[in-house]
């Protein structure tokens, strides 16, 4: 007998003996057990008994439950685990049968099981065991059949598989969930072999491609009947192999019925542990609809862009169409205004003129807005001077403020740099709009533009421009809205103030593209403050033109008394004078000013100068001046009168009171500086180099006029090509008034024919004309000129204001352009510039003969045909444009750009030539020559001289009128 057989026998014996003890005479029921004992007893040695004891202990303590079952199902052995699991004592279990502990096994099944285990000798299966309290738990049973002494037994090793069952159930559930997803997904899922054949795919995949079964689809894949584009699958494979995955791989594919759809694939490579490629797996999504929508969106976007372009073109065309008749209205009104009219007729025509101006500015706003919408609002940065730029704003608006009796002032903090790089025109546009609005929405009080520097480094200055008013204010809930296009705080039908609501929207956009910010503080009834912060680049070597720097030498330590009732004005004037190193004192009324003057005189330290506000409550400026002149110790004090009122109305009174200078508010730095220099006795000035100029408030004096040989276009023979009869008449009248002779052509073709048969000093050419437009005509004329080598200047008249149109004119061979509606002065000054370019040399014939620096009034009046309005307008244009021209010149000098110096000086020479500012012309000419001869060694000094001369010329021109 093997050891195992012995062990089993022992087990059975021990078990039976125990059960015998437990059951008393139960042994009688099982006589075969006793006989085993007898047979074995003598074979057992002590050693064997110890070994067997160990085996029994091992079985008893094994984790599995061990049961021995006889053929009738009765239990004849149970180990400790079995007792614990089933919750019986071993003795109790020995009274049970397999049917008690395994509810699955019935007598019939037991018989079958018995037979099968007996045949197979071992059998593993799953069943259920039931413990004492009736709890069932799943078990895996390994049963073996053993025969001993002709009897058979089944040993059942049972293992509790409750845990395993749980895991299996969870696995099953997970598996079914994923299968569900796979089966019911909307996206196609696939696994495909590297060679291309499909390993598996879900129903959605088959549905997308329109097949009836996976097999059908698989064979279509193998046959290569999927991708429309040849080599597309190879692209897919290449991508996925390069990166290990691909996403959004779009393809056009055939469905089973031959129709073509769009798909998008996402896939990855699956590799084994060694990194060898196993297969690809991924998702397929049908995107035909998405593609269609994207295509439609793309088309819609293109259509919208085209529509936007059409709109821009439409606006440009409408603007052109409006400008053409406006040219007639404005030009003809100007012509009529230049004739003898009754007061009433003049008033009516003034209204026509100002309405036309408003209409024009509206069109400009609309054009800007259309550019803004089309994203075409561009900046044109140049080096420029801030203060002259601001002056030009106030020149434009002072009259409007004055009409409403509003105080308009500008306060520039001393540390604000003057030379900047930026777009002065756009800055002017922003500030003009803000100050204009402030005037519009203020009935009483003041408007102040404060400018301070928020940050300044060597390269950059951030300037803050604040426009404050004491007007109607803006309610909180409207403060955001007004920055939107076409929005106004008051949009009721009964609103008091006109406007398009475009101004601030354009400002916002401009500020934004300048890299700045705009903010608003306002309280209804109290006023508003618009703050604009804009960064500017500083020029590498700023030209020293700050008023304080140019003026400090002459004005240092001069004592000035400012008499003004307005606090802001006092402060501003004080700031300016301190800048110039003067010693300013202030008085807020006539009487206090007078006592300050007297006191100072008595103490032996009199004031050198009085800056006197003309309009003050109680005692006005004239009364104060009167008293000054009447008080012996102060009677000689020079007085500069500052007023918002019209100059002409005060002139006589000023003269009577011996007031030598009169300035319009807001006071411009350059003008004040100039006025002080001219007002003070020379002995007081530290530097004597400023030549005295005539008392500029003197009326126009024909006796002082001298004949001079100044550059003047003279009488020109002009060819005019213009199809519009009104414009033709207007231009002919304007030109004839200047003494020119004009031949008119109704289109480009006629103009070319006229040019071929005649000689002209100038051609004025409309751009849009029937039959042959201005550009073609210019090209034809330039071609004809090739034979002679001559070049006749061509001036374009264009109603288009887009830069591109202007560039086209110049590119076509034209020399300059004037936009419609024509501004008479601009027109004349451009003509002057174009034709005097040819007579430059005349001026230089005798360089020794230096003309004195003063205006030749007779020549000036002759030039403007005695038309003071025209002179004033031309002067205004000049005053607005010369800062930019000077900036360009300065920039060219700084760059060492000889050609640029020549060009800029030439332009300036033409501009000042309109007024016969001889010294300025000479200075410009000198620079022009330096440029031409490429010798810029003394250009900086000459540039400063030219600036000086121009600054002196400007007030002289203004005051002549
Ligand atoms: P508009 O041409 O109508 O003046 P803007 O865009 O310049 O267009 O201004 C929009 C609106 O903002 C104005 O209609 C007005 O209601 C309000 N607004 C602008 N500036 C001021 C101001 N200084 N005071 C009061 N309201 C103002």
pLDDT of 198 over the 80 cut: yes
The ligand 1 atom at the shortest distance from the C-alpha of residue 497 is 14
| Rounded Cα gap, residues 721 and 797, in angstroms | 9
| Rounded Cα gap, residues 232 and 239, in angstroms | 11
State mean pLDDT over 168-187: 90
Helices (H) and strands (E) in the chain, counts: 33, 27
Share of the chain above pLDDT 90, in %: 29
Give the start-end residues of each E strand in 363-459.
382-385, 407-412, 419-422, 446-456
User: Which of 265-269, 714-718, 915-919 is least confident?
Assistant: 915-919
pLDDT for 10 equals 43
pLDDT of 454 over the 50 cut: yes
More confident residue, 648 or 264: 264
State mean pLDDT over 713-732: 82
User: Which of 49-58, 113-122, 144-153, 882-891 is least confident?
Assistant: 49-58
The residues facing 281 across adjacent strands are 191, 268
More confident residue, 503 or 703: 503
State mean pLDDT over 174-195: 90
pLDDT for 144 equals 92
501 lines ligand 1 (CB under 6 A): yes
Alpha carbon dihedral 354, 357, 361, 366, in 10-degree steps, equals 110
Q: Three-state SS for 426? A: helix
Q: Give the sheet arrangement for strand 717-721, strand by strand.
A: 741-745, 717-721, 762-766, 794-798, 816-819
Which residue's CA is the nearest one to ligand 1's atom 2? 499
Can you spell out the DSSP letters for 70-107? ETTSBEEEE-HHHHHHHT--HHHHTT-BHHHH-TT--H
Q: Are 766 and 722 in contact (CB under 8 A)?
A: yes
| Rounded Cα gap, residues 752 and 774, in angstroms | 10
Q: Three-state SS for 194? A: coil
Which residue's CA is the nearest one to ligand 1's atom 8? 501
- Write out pLDDT tens, residues 211-229: 999 999 999 988 888 999 9
pLDDT for 852 equals 33
187 dihedral zone (left: phi>0; alpha: psi -120 to 50; beta): beta
pLDDT of 188 over the 50 cut: yes
The ligand 1 atom at the shortest distance from the C-alpha of residue 489 is 16
More confident residue, 823 or 203: 203
- Write out pLDDT tens, residues 537-546: 988 754 444 4
**Cα(584) to centroid(ligand 1), Å:** 37
More confident residue, 666 or 785: 785
pLDDT for 335 equals 79
More confident residue, 914 or 208: 208
The ligand 1 atom at the shortest distance from the C-alpha of residue 490 is 16
| Rounded Cα gap, residues 143 and 153, in angstroms | 10
Which residue's CA is the nearest one to ligand 1's atom 7? 503
Q: How confident is the model at residue 624 (pLDDT cuts 50, 70, 90)?
A: very high
**Cα(823) to centroid(ligand 1), Å:** 28
488 lines ligand 1 (CB under 6 A): yes
State mean pLDDT over 77-88: 92
State mean pLDDT over 254-273: 94
**Cα(857) to centroid(ligand 1), Å:** 43
**Cα(804) to centroid(ligand 1), Å:** 31
Which residue's CA is the nearest one to ligand 1's atom 19? 437
765 lines ligand 1 (CB under 6 A): no
**Cα(431) to centroid(ligand 1), Å:** 13
Find where tokens 């021109």 sit. 957
Our mutation pick for probing the ligand 1 site, out of 362, 401, 504, 525, counting the most ligand atoms within 8 A of Cβ, is 504
pLDDT of 495 over the 60 cut: no
pLDDT for 134 equals 92
**Cα(377) to centroid(ligand 1), Å:** 21
469 lines ligand 1 (CB under 6 A): yes
pLDDT for 667 equals 74
State mean pLDDT over 493-522: 82
**Cα(530) to centroid(ligand 1), Å:** 11
- How far CA 710 is from CA of 62, 843, 911, 930, in Å, comes to 130, 7, 13, 21
User: Which of 74-78, 161-165, 721-725 is least confident?
Assistant: 721-725
pLDDT for 396 equals 65
Q: Return the closest-CA partner of residue 3 out of 75, 56, 39.
A: 56
State mean pLDDT over 743-748: 90
Average pLDDT, the chain: 79
More confident residue, 481 or 708: 481
**Cα(399) to centroid(ligand 1), Å:** 20
Q: Three-state SS for 742? A: strand
More confident residue, 281 or 809: 281
Q: Are 606 and 634 in contact (CB under 8 A)?
A: yes
User: Which of 19-28, 421-430, 726-735, 803-812 is least confident?
Assistant: 19-28
pLDDT for 514 equals 93
Q: How confident is the model at residue 357 (pLDDT cuts 50, 70, 90)?
A: confident
482 lines ligand 1 (CB under 6 A): yes
Q: Three-state SS for 253? A: strand
User: Which of 788-802, 881-895, 910-924 is least confident?
Assistant: 910-924
490 lines ligand 1 (CB under 6 A): yes
User: Which of 71-85, 825-839, 904-918 is least confident?
Assistant: 825-839
The residues facing 18 across adjacent strands are none
Q: How confident is the model at residue 850 (pLDDT cuts 50, 70, 90)?
A: very low
* pTM summary value: 0.43
- What is the enclosing helix (H) or strand (E) of 264? strand 260-271
Q: Three-state SS for 303? A: helix
The ligand 1 atom at the shortest distance from the C-alpha of residue 483 is 6
**Cα(500) to centroid(ligand 1), Å:** 9
State mean pLDDT over 318-324: 75
pLDDT for 87 equals 94
State mean pLDDT over 769-791: 87
The ligand 1 atom at the shortest distance from the C-alpha of residue 467 is 23
The ligand 1 atom at the shortest distance from the C-alpha of residue 485 is 6
The ligand 1 atom at the shortest distance from the C-alpha of residue 502 is 6
Share of the chain above pLDDT 70, in %: 80
429 lines ligand 1 (CB under 6 A): no
State mean pLDDT over 422-427: 88
pLDDT for 826 equals 73
* Cβ neighbours for 844, distance < 8 A, ≥ 6 positions apart: 925, 929
| Rounded Cα gap, residues 563 and 594, in angstroms | 9
Our mutation pick for probing the ligand 1 site, out of 404, 445, 482, counting the most ligand atoms within 8 A of Cβ, is 482
């Amino acid at each position: 007998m093997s050891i195992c057989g012995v062990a089993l026998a022992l087990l059975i014996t021990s078990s039976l003996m125990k059960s015998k003890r437990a059951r008393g005479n139960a042994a009688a029921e099982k006589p075969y057990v006793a006989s085993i004992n007898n047979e074995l007893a003598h074979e057992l040695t002590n050693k064997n008994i110890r070994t067997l004891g160990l085996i029994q202990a091992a079985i008893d303590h094994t984790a599995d439950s061990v049961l021995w079952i006889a053929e009738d199902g009765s239990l004849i052995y149970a180990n400790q685990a079995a007792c614990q699991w089933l919750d019986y004592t071993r003795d109790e279990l020995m009274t049970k049968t397999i049917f008690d502990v395994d509810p699955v096994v019935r007598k019939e099944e037991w018989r079958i099981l018995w037979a099968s285990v007996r045949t197979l000798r071992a059998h593993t299966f799953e069943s259920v065991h039931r413990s004492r309290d009736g709890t069932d738990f799943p078990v895996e049973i390994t049963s073996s059949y053993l025969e001993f002494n002709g009897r058979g037994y089944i040993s059942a090793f049972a293992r509790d598989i409750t845990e395993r069952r749980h895991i299996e159930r969870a696995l099953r559930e997970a598996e079914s969930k994923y299968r569900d997803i796979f089966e019911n997904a909307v996206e196609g899922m696939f696994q495909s072999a590297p060679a291309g054949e499909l390993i598996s795919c879900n129903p959605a995949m088959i549905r997308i491609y329109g097949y009836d079964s996976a097999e059908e689809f698989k064979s279509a894949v193998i046959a290569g009947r999927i991708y429309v584009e040849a080599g597309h699958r190879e692209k897919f494979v290449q991508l996925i192999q390069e990166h290990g995955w691909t996403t959004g791989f779009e393809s056009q594919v055939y469905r089973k019925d031959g129709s073509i759809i769009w798909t998008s694939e996402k896939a990855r490579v699956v590799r084994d542990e060694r990194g060898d490629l196993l297969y690809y797996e991924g998702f397929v999504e049908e995107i035909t609809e998405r593609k269609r929508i994207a295509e439609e969106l793309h088309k819609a976007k293109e259509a919208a862009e085209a529509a936007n372009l059409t709109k821009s073109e439409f606006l440009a065309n409408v603007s052109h169409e409006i400008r053409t008749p406006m040219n007639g209205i404005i030009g003809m009104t100007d012509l009529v205004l230049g004739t003898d009219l009754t007061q009433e007729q003049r008033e009516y025509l003034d209204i026509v003129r100002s309405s036309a101006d408003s209409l024009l500015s509206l069109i400009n706003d609309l054009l800007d807005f259309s550019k803004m919408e089309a994203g075409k609002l561009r900046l044109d940065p140049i080096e420029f001077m801030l203060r002259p730029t601001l002056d030009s704003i106030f020149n434009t608006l002072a009259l409007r403020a004055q009409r409403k009796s509003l105080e308009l002032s500008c306060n520039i903090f001393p540390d604000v740099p003057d030379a900047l790089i930026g777009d002065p025109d756009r800055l002017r546009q922003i500030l003009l709009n803000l100050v204009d609005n402030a005037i519009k929405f203020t009935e009483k009080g003041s408007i102040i533009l404060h400018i301070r520097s928020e940050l300044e480094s060597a390269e950059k200055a951030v300037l803050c421009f604040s426009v404050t008013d004491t007007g109607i204010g803006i309610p909180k809930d409207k403060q955001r809205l007004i920055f939107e296009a076409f929005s106004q705080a008051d949009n009721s039908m009964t609103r008091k103030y006109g406007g398009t609501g475009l101004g601030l929207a354009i400002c916002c956009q401009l500020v934004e593209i300048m890299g700045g910010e705009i903010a608003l503080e306002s309280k209804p009834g109290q006023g508003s403050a618009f703050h604009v912060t804009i960064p500017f680049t500083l020029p590498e070597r700023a030209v020293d033109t700050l008023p304080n720097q140019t003026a400090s030498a002459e004005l240092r330590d001069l004592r000035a008394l400012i008499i003004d009732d307005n606090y802001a004005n006092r402060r501003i004037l004080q700031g300016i004078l301190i800048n110039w190193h003067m010693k300013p004192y202030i008085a807020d009324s006539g009487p206090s000013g007078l006592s300050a003057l007297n006191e100072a005189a008595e103490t032996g330290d009199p004031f050198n100068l009085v800056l006197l506000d003309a309009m003050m409550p109680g005692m006005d400026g004239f009364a104060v001046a009167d008293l000054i002149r009447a008080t012996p110790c102060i009677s000689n004090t020079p007085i500069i009168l500052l007023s918002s009122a019209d100059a002409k109305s005060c002139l006589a009174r000023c003269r009577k009171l011996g007031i030598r200078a009169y300035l319009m508010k807001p006071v411009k730095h350059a003008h004040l500086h100039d006025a002080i220099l001219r007002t003070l006795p020379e002995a007081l000035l530290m530097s004597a180099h400023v030549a005295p100029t005539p008392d500029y408030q003197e009326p126009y004096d024909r006796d002082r006029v001298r004949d001079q040989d100044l550059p003047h276009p003279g009488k020109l023979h002009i060819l005019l090509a213009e199809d519009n009869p009104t414009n033709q008449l207007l231009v002919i009248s304007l030109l004839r008034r200047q003494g020119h002779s004009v031949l008119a052509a109704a289109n480009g073709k006629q103009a070319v024919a006229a040019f071929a048969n005649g000689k002209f000093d100038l051609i004025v050419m409309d751009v849009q004309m029937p039959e042959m437009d201005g550009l073609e005509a210019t090209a034809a004329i330039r071609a004809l000129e090739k034979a002679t080598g001559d070049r006749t200047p061509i001036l374009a008249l264009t109603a288009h204001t887009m830069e591109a149109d202007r560039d086209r004119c110049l590119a076509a061979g034209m020399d300059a352009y004037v936009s419609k509606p024509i501004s008479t002065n601009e027109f004349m000054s451009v003509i002057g510039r174009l034709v005097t370019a040819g007579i430059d040399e005349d001026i230089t014939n005798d360089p020794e003969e230096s003309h004195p620096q003063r205006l030749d009034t007779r020549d000036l009046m002759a030039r403007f045909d005695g038309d003071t309005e025209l002179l004033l307008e031309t002067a205004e244009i000049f005053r607005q444009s010369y800062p930019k021209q000077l900036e360009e010149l300065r920039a060219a000098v700084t760059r060492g750009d000889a050609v640029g110096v020549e060009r800029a000086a030439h332009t300036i020479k033409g501009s000042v030539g309109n007024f016969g500012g001889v010294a300025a012309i000479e200075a410009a000419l000198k620079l022009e020559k330096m440029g031409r001869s490429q010798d810029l060694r003394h250009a900086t000094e000459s540039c400063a001289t030219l600036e000086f001369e121009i600054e002196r010329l400007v007030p002289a021109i203004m005051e002549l009128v």
